[in-house]
Chains A and B, each alone.
Chain A
Amino acid sequence: MDMLTVEDINVYYGAIHAIKGISLSVAKGGITTLIGSNGAGKSTTLHTISGLLKPKTGKITFEGQDITGKPAHKIVGMGLSQVPEGRHVFANMTVMENLDLGAYLRTDKEEINKDLTDVFTKFPRLLERKDQIAGTLSGGEQQMLAMGRALMSRPRLMLLDEPSMGLAPLLVQEIFNIIKEINDSGTTVLLVEQNARMALSIADKAYVLETGNITLEGTGKELLNSEAVQKAYLGG
């Protein structure tokens, strides 16, 4: 069953036509990835799904409900959470305050505490640093915080934008393991990555985005073995 469907959306930045009629779907329970080079429109696509941007035309459906053009703060409440590119943690607040804000819309104190324990189990480093100001964390720790913060809204679908950006290879591996773990515990994932090899290796379904158009789609394995993808994104 498709949890999220995007049908023929067109997105503009002023006069710039950034997304040119793309359609994609995210199956419930799996990991779907969107790969492509810089400027292909990956982040724009995610921003449009999460409501930070409005499409000019097209339709976005989440769990059967039309969410096209709905404001971002309403969409979070429906169970869709985005981890933005570049982490965007609240650098002037503590780790704990960041996690609290992740649960901003929730009032179920006990369940929030349960999720907090879960987040600290997934990211023990955040527990060690819970009273530290987020701006003083390393890049990898900030990524963990951004993911933990998104988990605090207890999303059924998590959008991840370039989680590996700027991280050392060992950390990238760690972050991807955690993404798989999050997915295994029942959260559907839509992952945007420039690190195509990593993304395709964990994805059930994958799309290739080029200058605002989807040019290829298939299972992660199919695209990993596709000649076109190997040439363009996997270095031969």
Chain B
Amino acid sequence: MESGFLHQLVQQLINGISLGSIYALIALGYTMIYGILKLINFAHGDIYMLGAYIGFVCTSILKLSFLPALIVSMIGAALAGMVIERVAYRPMRNAPRIAILITAIGVSFFLENVMILFASPQPRTFPAVFTATVYHVGAWVVNSQQIVILVSALVLMVALTYIVNQTRAGKAMRAVSFDADAARLMGIDIDSTISMTFALGSALAAAGGVLVGIYYNSIDPLMGMVPGIKAFVAAVLGGIGIIPGAMLGGIILGVVEALVSGFISSTFRDAAAFAILIIILLFKPQGLMGKNIREKV
């Protein structure tokens, strides 16, 4: 009994971390866009859906293998993110925040319905790009998809951390999200920096979409709604606007969901995510990694 519990616990941790790394990928875009525009981009989950569809076209119609499909999907979503920012959000830059929020909801509906129109509302079967090998590590089961998901997510997160901390564009992004006017006085072009942020965030969400397609074999035009909200929870859990926070929040959320599914019931899985949101908002609204930097005047 005791060892059965431990076995189950580790197995669910494995499942939770791979699911959580996908939440983390989506949460990163939320948090970056929030950091720079103070906008909850409700269309972000739909960018993830778009990424999954581009990945689907690449693998099933163009017969590309995993890596090229992932890259094409990320580039496609990055372009879509930039266009959405340019067309829908930039004209609203000085509008009240609620107006921009409503615009984001509108963009979300737009993307969902355009996809329903062109791709039909029926779910599609995502081709198996990997032969699903199952590895037995001791008593535990890891499949090849989980390994691919985890490795891809890790590589992308390391790459993002490098871009944000070490490159000129990354420094500009951090400067703009901290203080846009001061950034302008440094010579940073706010518009292109915001554009860049949407491109990066959207590319990560698309990667999440492709990985989910591989994991669950099924995609549909409304697939972005629930993961979109959950990734938002993950971003808030880690501290919205904080990049490592989104990674941590995503992993924690994935693990909690897996544990709830494994030990209680998978019907409570979604409730767990929202319970986390309520708890974090009650007790640590700035998020796990959020801190208040006091400004000296």
Q: A: which residues have CB within 8 A of B?
A: 50-52, 71-73, 76-77, 81-82, 84, 86, 88-93, 97, 100-102, 104-105, 135, 137-139, 142, 149-150, 153, 165-166
**Interfacial chain A residues near B295, Cβ < 8 Å:** 91, 135
| CB-contact partner of B182 in A90, A137, A139, under 8 A | A90
CB distance B174 to A92 under 8 Å? Answer: yes
- Chain B CB within 10 Å, residue with most, of A72, A89, A93, A137: A72
Query: Residue B187 at the A interface, CB < 8 A?
Result: yes
Closest 6 CB pairs of A and B: A76-B187, A105-B187, A72-B184, A88-B182, A104-B186, A135-B293
Bound CA–CA A150/B182 (angstroms): 11
Centre residue among A52, A92, A139 by max chain B CB count within 10 A: A92
Residue pair A88, B179 in contact (C-beta under 8 Å): yes
Contact check, A100 vs B297: say whether CB atoms are below 8 A apart: no
Bound CA span A156–B174, Å = 27
Cα A177 to Cα B184 in complex, Å, equals 28
Does the CB pair B175–A101 fall under 8 Å? yes
Q: Judging by beta carbons under 8 Å apart, are B188 and A139 in contact?
A: no
Given known A92-B174, A104-B168, contact A73–B179 (CB-CB < 8 A): no
Q: Which residues of chain B are near A91, meaning CB under 8 Å?
A: 178, 293, 295
The CA of A91 and the CA of B297, in the complex, are separated in Å by: 12
B189 & A52 in contact (Cβ 8 Å cutoff): no
Q: Given that A52-B181, A91-B178, A97-B171 are known contacts, is A137 also in contact with B296, CB under 8 Å in the complex?
A: yes
In the complex, A82 Cα to B183 Cα: how many Å? Answer: 11
| Identity of the chain B residue whose Cβ is nearest the Cβ of A85 in the assembled complex | B297
0 or 1 for each of B284-297: is its CB under 8 Å from A? (1 = yes): 00000000011111
Q: Which residues from B are CB-within-8-Å of A165?
A: 297
B178 touches A153 (CB 8 A): no
| CB nearest to B190 among chain A residues | A73
CB distance from A157 to the nearest CB of B (A): 13
Query: Chain B contacts of A150 at CB under 8 A?
Result: 185
A73, A86, A142, A166: the one within 8 Å of B187 (CB): A73
- Total number of A-B contacts with CB less than 8 angstroms? 76
Q: B residues within 8 A CB of A137? A: 296
Residue contacts A-B, CB under 8 angstroms, 21 given: A50-B185, A52-B181, A72-B181, A72-B184, A73-B184, A76-B186, A77-B187, A82-B185, A84-B181, A84-B182, A88-B179, A92-B178, A97-B171, A101-B183, A104-B186, A105-B186, A105-B187, A137-B296, A138-B296, A149-B186, A166-B297
Q: For the complex, is B172 an interface residue (Cβ under 8 Å from A)? A: yes
For window 175-220 of B, CB contacts with A under 8 Å fall at: 175, 178-179, 181-190
Q: Are B171 and A72 in contact (CB under 8 A)?
A: no
Contact A72 B174 (CB under 8 A): no
Asked if B297 contacts A104 (CB within 8 A), the reply is: no
Whether A52 contacts B185 in the complex (CB less than 8 A), given A101-B175, A104-B168, comes out as: yes
Taken together as a complex, chains A and B put the C-alpha atoms of A77 and B190 apart, in Å, by 15
Please report the C-alpha to C-alpha distance between residue A90 and residue B186 in the assembled complex, in whole angstroms. 11
Q: In the assembly, what is the distance between CA of A26 and CA of B295, in Å? A: 33
Contact check: which of A84, A90, A100 meets B178 at CB < 8 Å? A90
Contact B293 A73 (CB under 8 A): no
- Nearest A residue (CB) for B293: A135
A71 near B297 (CB under 8 angstroms)?
no
Chain A residue nearest in CB terms to B168: A104
Q: Beyond A73-B188, A91-B178, is A139–B297 a contact (Cβ under 8 Å)? A: yes
B296 in complex: contacting residue of A76, A100, A104, A135, CB < 8 Å: A135
Residues in chain B near residue A101, CB distance under 8 A: 171, 175, 183, 186, 188
* Contact A84 B297, beta carbon cutoff 8 Å: no
Please, which residues of chain A bring their CB within 8 A of the CB of B174? 90, 92-93
Q: Compute how far the CA of A21 lies from the CA of B296 in the bound complex, rounded to whole angstroms.
A: 34
Known A-B contacts A92-B174, A135-B293; A104 and B187 likewise in contact (beta carbons under 8 Å): yes
Chain B residues positioned under 8 Å from A84 (CB to CB): 181-182, 185
Residues of B close to A89: CB separation below 8 A: 182
Instruction: Report the bound CA distance from A89 to B171 in whole Å.
Output: 14
Q: How far is the CA of A100 from the CA of B172 in the complex (A)?
A: 11
Q: Are B188 and A92 in contact (CB under 8 A)?
A: no
With A90-B174, A97-B171, A101-B188 already in contact, 17 other A-B pairs whose C-beta atoms are closer than 8 Å: A50-B185, A52-B184, A52-B185, A72-B185, A73-B190, A84-B181, A84-B185, A88-B182, A89-B182, A92-B174, A92-B178, A93-B175, A101-B175, A102-B186, A104-B168, A104-B186, A153-B187
Q: Do A100 and B187 contact each other (CB < 8 Å), given the known contacts A135-B293, A139-B296?
A: no
Chain B 223-264: CB-based contact to A (< 8 A → 1; otherwise 0): 000000000000000000000000000000000000000000
A88 is contacted by which of B181, B188, B293 (Cβ under 8 Å)? B181
**Is A135 a contact partner of B294 (Cβ separation < 8 A)?**
yes
Q: Is the pair B297, A86 in contact by a Cβ cutoff of 8 Å?
A: yes
Q: Which residue of A lies closest to B189 (CB)?
A: A73
**A116: shortest Cβ distance to chain B, in Å?**
15
